[in-house]
Amino acid sequence: MASHGTEPLPVAPYSADLLADLHAGVLDESVSEKLWPLVRKDPRAMEVISALDALSARLGSLGSDFHSGEPMPPDVAERIDCALMTEQETSFGDRPGRYTHRWTYTGIGIAAAAAIVASLSALLFARPSGPTDPDTVAAPAYPPSLVLDSSALNSTDVRDLLGRQDPTELKDAGNLPECLAANGFDPQAILLAATPVQVDGQSATLLVVPRFPMDGMTVLVVGADCGDGNPQTLVRRDLN
């Protein structure tokens, strides 16, 4: 096992938590400098890093658009405040450090970010509830985030969806791993996006899978019955 001083340096398989901390830049610089070259040689770890890159870009674009969306509801703001307070109270207790005492302090930022992302996700992607007009046509169970023509799918459309992990019929049915395998992908592949779409008038699920060791990503659009032995591929396209 590689080591850093008297402390062992993590080795593959790297946990998602460790990779998130490395990506966020909260590890000691001496640890990061030794860990990054190892992580870059690990295709599985780089799938997580690419997913984090995509999510960061997605959240960054949302955060920079001050004219989009609705004001944060009071209950969402309250949940964020409670999460921050709870984490602050627990983070300074006696617990062993992972590398240095710096972990104790950075844990607050990581947990706070997780709370904010969770709350924002609920705010951004929640479906309206409450009584509806009986004359109003019911919204589809999985509203499409994109209506597209399979012949006109382009990288701009896809990049706007990166970071989205919306409920889809495929995921809710528990068939995602089998669907990925049926289409020749690792059933446990990290997805850069998963969202319901409508393609050529048909309800479907759009998945974005990173390509390694090559750069770029594969856009896969599948029907609702995609599963074990049934790829039901509607669109498959490699984008750089």
Rounded CA separation 120/8 (Å): 37
Structure tokens at 208: 């974005």
**DSSP 8-state code for residue 4:** E
Tens-digit pLDDT profile for residues 47-64: 788 777 776 666 555 555
Supply the pTM of this predicted model: 0.51
Buried b (16+ CB within 10 A) or exposed e, 57-89: ebbeeeeeeeeeeeeeeeebeebbeebeeebee
> pLDDT digit string (tens) for 4-40?
445 688 888 888 778 888 888 888 898 999 999 999 9
Taking residues 210-214, what's their average pLDDT?
A: 68
- CA 80 to chain CA mean position, Å: 20
Domain positions in the chain: 3-125, 146-239
- The rounded distance, in Å, linking the Cα atoms of 211 and 172 is 25
Higher pLDDT, 100 or 151: 151
C-alpha torsion angle, residues 90, 83, 14, 184 (rounded to 10): 160
User: What is the full DSSP assignment across 74-140?
Assistant: HHHHHHHHHHHHHHHHHHTSS---SSSTHHHHHHHHHHHHHHHHHHHHHHHHPPP-S---TTSPPPP
Q: How many CA atoms lie within 13 A of 179 on its CB side?
A: 26
134-186 pLDDT, tens digit per residue, is 555 555 577 887 888 888 787 777 777 887 888 888 888 899 999 999 999 98
- Bridge partners of 193, per DSSP, are 208
Q: Are 46 and 40 in contact (CB under 8 A)?
A: yes
Residue 118 near residue 86 (C-beta atoms within 8 A): no
